[in-house]
Amino acid sequence: MGLLDRVITRKFGSVVENKNMAYDEGTGRVIVTQFDNEFENKKIL
């Protein structure tokens, strides 16, 4: 079993990619995510 690296969503001709960049060591939950917005700018949360 592994950790989910990224999710690519295709809807109505657009493509959005969410990439999980850092995980909590104890729980495995995502703590940092990078995504592209509609202007193809990468954002990090």
pLDDT in tens, 11-39: 888 788 889 999 999 988 899 998 876 66
In the chain, which residue ranges form alpha helices assigned H by DSSP? none
pLDDT, average across residues 5-16: 85
Q: What is the pLDDT of residue 11?
A: 85
Q: What is the pLDDT of residue 38?
A: 66
Q: What is the pLDDT of residue 32?
A: 93
Pair type for strands 14-23 and 30-36: antiparallel
Q: What is the pLDDT of residue 17?
A: 85
Q: What is the pLDDT of residue 24?
A: 92
